């Protein structure tokens, strides 16, 4: 696939892996993107996941024929992008490895060598001339590892953006960019909003016509729209008005309350998304909690605490910087409910969490009192 006259796509689609990083469901696979810039000097941008090394090297050979690459530029050392550095180095012993100082330290850990005899260390503002293409390196620490650099090609006005602007899904997956990009961002990068903001500030000074991420499609249209979403996500701003209800239920009582609340909200025109945390896509629930402005947490008291899936969910939110949202609580317990108190305590270090004034307490099953509490909560959420 030609990105521009001189930049070719040499990445791969992974339709075999079921869990990305052993936790994120990827029903439509994922792409490991790599690119090659062909000029007087030839540069390969990043590697791919280890199981696809031979396919990747074959693509390099198919593009170059009898020519050999002069450089392998390593923007990010996570193994889905770096696993074949050593294999590349063996295949092309004359090629130099270009990366940040921290990346070479990581190579020593991964491969037992930091390629000291053939390395080029680059940092903020450093350049590499290939001929007509002059590459400028921009540091992007903690987006989302500390060694990350992104690369700007002034000739073709292309930003090689590392993991920024990436998404789940193989390149042949027919799905909206936003949904899987949001789930990818919140899940993997979401903790590092300040660092993403710093990178976006640097990008404003560049004339960017195409964004080439390490996962997902090349972005060449509506760039302002994609950047605006990244800006919102990294500022932890509300993306849409709506209510997410995340719940756990053991014998069905809490689930019944959730369904009753959701029905009442929808009858009043509210957008409502429900997640059973024990069964539904956990990180889709995390992503939507950041997407919408209101969150309802409904769970049972369990072993003097809350149900484990709810504890894991709240931890996933606060770990990623969840803030500036309205949170409503529904607790259930047969003899001594404490779940609401435990949930509240988990948010103590979070900024801008407004708890609903009408919590709901269920004692085993809904009764007149708890139904009235649900009605009061519904009207508060509608306001």
Domain boundaries, the chain: 7-235, 240-382
Q: Which fold has domain 7-235?
A: Metallo-beta-lactamase; Chain A (3.60.15)
CA distance 288 to 190: 13
> Considering the chain, what percentage of its residues have pLDDT values greater than 90?
98
CA Rg value for the chain: 24
Mean pLDDT score across all residues of the chain: 96
CA 11, CA 34: separation in Å to the nearest integer?
A: 4
d(CA 278, CA 249): 9
Task: Please report, rounded to a whole number, the percentage of residues in the chain having pLDDT higher than 70.
Answer: 100
In this prediction, residue 170 carries a pLDDT of: 97
Residue 121: the pLDDT is 98
CA distance 263 to 306: 25
Token output for 105: 């330290």
The predicted-structure confidence for 218-252, as pLDDT tens digits, reads as follows 999 999 999 999 999 999 999 999 999 999 999 99
Confidence at residue 18, expressed as pLDDT on a 0 to 100 scale: 95
Band (181; pLDDT cuts 50, 70, 90): very high
Is the domain spanning 240-382 CATH 3.40.50.360? The answer is yes
pTM: 0.93
d(CA 284, CA 246): 11
Question: What number is the average pLDDT over the span 63-70?
Answer: 96
SS (H, E, C) 57-74: HHHHHHHHCCCCCCEEEC
Res 1: pLDDT:
84
pLDDT higher than threshold 90 for residue 266: yes
Q: Give me 128's structure tokens.
A: 């590499």
Indicate the angle between helix axes 193-203 and 223-235, nearest 10 degrees: 150
| pLDDT tens per residue across span 69-107 | 999 999 999 999 999 999 999 999 999 999 999 999 999
User: In the 3-class helix/strand/coil scheme, how is the chain assigned residue by residue?
Assistant: CECCCCEEECCEEECCCCEECCCEECCCCEEECCEEEECCCEEEECCCCHHHHHHHHHHHHHHHCCCCCCEEECCCCCHHHHCCHHHHHHHCCCCEEEECHHHHHHHHHHHCCCCCCCEEECCCCCEEECCCCEEEEEECCCCCCCCCEEEEECCCCEEECCCCCCCCECCCCCCCHHHHHHHHHHHHHHHHHHHHHHHHHHHCCCCCCEEECCCCCCECCCHHHHHHHHHHHHHCCCCEEEEEEEECCCCCHHHHHHHHHHHHHHHCCCCEEEEECCCCCHHHHHHHHHHEEEEEEEEEEECCEECHHHHHHHHHHHHCCCCCEEEEEEEECCCCCCHHHHHHHHCCCCCCEEECCCCEEEECECCHHHHHHHHHHHHHHHC
Residue 336 pLDDT exceeds 90: no
């Amino acid at each position: 696939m030609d990105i521009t006259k001189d930049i070719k796509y040499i990445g791969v689609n992974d339709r075999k892996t079921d869990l990305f990083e052993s936790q994120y469901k990827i029903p439509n696979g994922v792409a490991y993107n790599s690119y090659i810039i062909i000029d007087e000097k030839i540069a390969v941008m990043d590697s791919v996941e280890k199981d696809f090394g031979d396919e990747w090297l074959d693509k390099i050979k198919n593009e170059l024929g009898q020519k050999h690459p002069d450089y392998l530029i390593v923007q990010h050392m996570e193994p889905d992008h770096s696993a074949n550095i050593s294999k590349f180095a063996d295949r092309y012993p004359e090629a130099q490895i270009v990366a940040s100082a921290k990346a070479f330290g990581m190579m020593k850990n991964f491969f037992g060598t930091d390629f000291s005899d053939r390395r080029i260390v680059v940092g903020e503002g450093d350049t590499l001339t290939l001929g007509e293409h002059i590459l400028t390196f921009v540091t992007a620490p903690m987006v989302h590892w500390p060694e990350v650099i992104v690369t700007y090609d002034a000739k073709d006005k292309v930003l090689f953006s590392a993991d920024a602007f990436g998404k789940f899904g193989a390149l042949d997956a027919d799905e909206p960019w936003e949904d899987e990009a949001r789930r990818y961002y919140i899940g993997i990068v979401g903790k590092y909003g300040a660092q993403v903001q710093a990178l976006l500030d640097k990008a404003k000074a560049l004339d960017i016509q195409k964004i080439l991420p390490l996962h997902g499609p090349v972005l060449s249209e509506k760039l302002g729209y994609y950047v605006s979403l990244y800006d919102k996500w990294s500022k932890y701003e509300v993306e849409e008005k709506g209510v997410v209800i995340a719940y756990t239920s053991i014998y069905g009582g809490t689930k019944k309350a959730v369904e009753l609340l959701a029905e009442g909200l929808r009858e009043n025109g509210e957008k409502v998304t429900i997640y059973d945390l024990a069964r539904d896509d956990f990180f889709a629930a995390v992503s939507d909690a950041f997407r919408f402005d209101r969150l309802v947490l409904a769970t049972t008291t369990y072993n003097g605490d809350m149900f484990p899936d709810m504890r894991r969910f709240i931890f996933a939110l606060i770990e990623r910087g969840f803030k500036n949202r309205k949170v409503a609580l529904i607790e259930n317990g047969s003899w001594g409910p404490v779940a609401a108190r435990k949930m509240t305590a988990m948010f103590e270090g979070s900024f801008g969490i407004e708890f609903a004034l009408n919590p709901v307490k269920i004692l085993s099953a809904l009764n007149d009192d708890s139904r009235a509490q649900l009605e009061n909560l519904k009207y508060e959420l509608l306001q």
